[in-house]
Chains A and B, each alone.
Chain A
Amino acid sequence: MAEKKPATTVVVTSGKGGVGKTTSTAAIGAALAMEGQRVVVVDFDIGLRNLDLMLGAERRVVYDLINVIQGTANLSQALIRDKKLHGLHLLAASQTRDKNALTEKGVAMIMGELRSRFDWVICDSPAGIERGAVMAMKHADAAIIIANPEISSVRDSDRIIGLLDAKTERGKRGQEMEKHLLITRYDTARTKTGEMLGIDDIADILSIPVLGVVPESNKVLNASNLGTPITMADRDSPPARAYGAAAKRLCGQDIPLEIPAGRKPFFANWFGGRAA
């Protein structure tokens, strides 16, 4: 068998909680696997794991990341193969330990192993800027920064962008960390009325390139209820298309950014199409 080229390690991070990191990790992981890539998604949210739920694998978690670090299981035992999607794997977080169990040495060992086995290692970061978030980003080659069009989310993203240079192995070696902005829960109508920060505003303030714009959609909740990433559950839905395009851009494909059309603003009909 030919030597495999090492995986690209990506951290999905945000600072702020509840902005869509876990949803995005599952959606992009699945989208890459659908392109024929070998993918592992790793849950770093120790004590609050959720990635297993998004993949519908919650009842199949026997061993987790911390078991592997502590040597009570080996990596092959802890890796969960996705039932529906060939090529997609999960390494779950521990629900019972705390984040101090994430030792530097243990994380380095696991990331090294995963890198040699997969094409993509995608790390779902916990919220915050503490140990768990730092460990999730530590070995990354690239980062997807998730932001909502909202002032506190953008501020926290800026904070995380700073940490990506200061706290990662790549940053310490003086190498550039690839940073991608993924705007989620985007509401076109409310942006048009000037209620919500626009894409240009956010990208300009954070000055990193935009990987994609995922609209607010109840299909996302639906997919999480089913335990299937949105990119598989409802492939043609606007959020799935946005995630699919983001995954392609992550692979280096040059496809133009599509801004979700959204519902038509109410006043558009009244004033001859002028955006209200």
Chain B
Amino acid sequence: MRIPEFLNICRFFGESRSAPVARERLQLLLAHERASAGRSELIGRMRDDIVAVIARHAGIDKRDVRVKINRRNRVFTLKIDMDVPA
């Protein structure tokens, strides 16, 4: 058996299917990077406004409101996450 074929078998039984892991990591990472970079100025301004409004009405600090913006199949989703004092 030639060496490349042997390596192929190692891949088959071993650490081959790493693409799904890459996919997972990318999805998580990009969700984060898109949120922090802001997909566009519009989205960025929207995020700032939303944070300000929530902070004002809920009477909490701006820093306790986190807005995540994600994009999937041409649709943006907003996730709002905040710490409200008990």
A: residues with CB less than 8 A from B are 151, 154-155, 158-159, 162, 165-166, 171, 191, 193-198, 201, 204-205, 207, 266-267, 276
User: Which residues of chain A are near B25, meaning CB under 8 Å?
Assistant: 151
A195 lies within 8 A of B33 (CB) = no
Count of B residues near A, CB < 8 Å? 27
Is A205's CB under 8 angstroms from B27's CB? yes
Interface residue SS majority, chain A: helix
Tell which of B17, B20, B30, B41 touches A205, judged by Cβ atoms closer than 8 Å: B30
In chain B, positions 11-62 with a C-beta closer than 8 Å to chain A are: 11-12, 16-20, 22-23, 25-27, 29-30, 33-34, 37-41
A266 to B25, CA, bound (A): 29
Known: A151-B26, A155-B30, A207-B72. A193 touches B16 (CB 8 A): yes
- Given the interface pairs A158-B33, A266-B8, the reply to whether A171 lies near B40 with Cβ below 8 Å is yes
Beyond A151-B26, A195-B11, 7 additional pairs, beta carbon < 8 A: A151-B22, A162-B40, A165-B39, A195-B18, A195-B19, A205-B27, A207-B73
Q: A residues within 8 A CB of B18?
A: 194-195
As a 0/1 sequence over residues 71 to 85 of chain B, the CB contacts with chain A under 8 angstroms (1 = contact) are 111100000000000
Between-chain CB contacts (< 8 Å), 27 pairs: A151-B22, A158-B34, A159-B33, A159-B37, A162-B34, A162-B37, A162-B39, A165-B39, A165-B40, A191-B19, A193-B11, A193-B12, A193-B16, A194-B16, A195-B11, A195-B18, A196-B19, A197-B23, A198-B19, A205-B23, A205-B26, A205-B30, A207-B71, A266-B5, A267-B8, A276-B8, A276-B12
Q: Which one, B23, B38, B74, contacts A207 given CB within 8 A?
A: B74
Which residues of B sit under 8 angstroms from A205, Cβ to Cβ?
A: 23, 26-27, 30
State A201–B29 Cα separation when bound (angstroms).
15
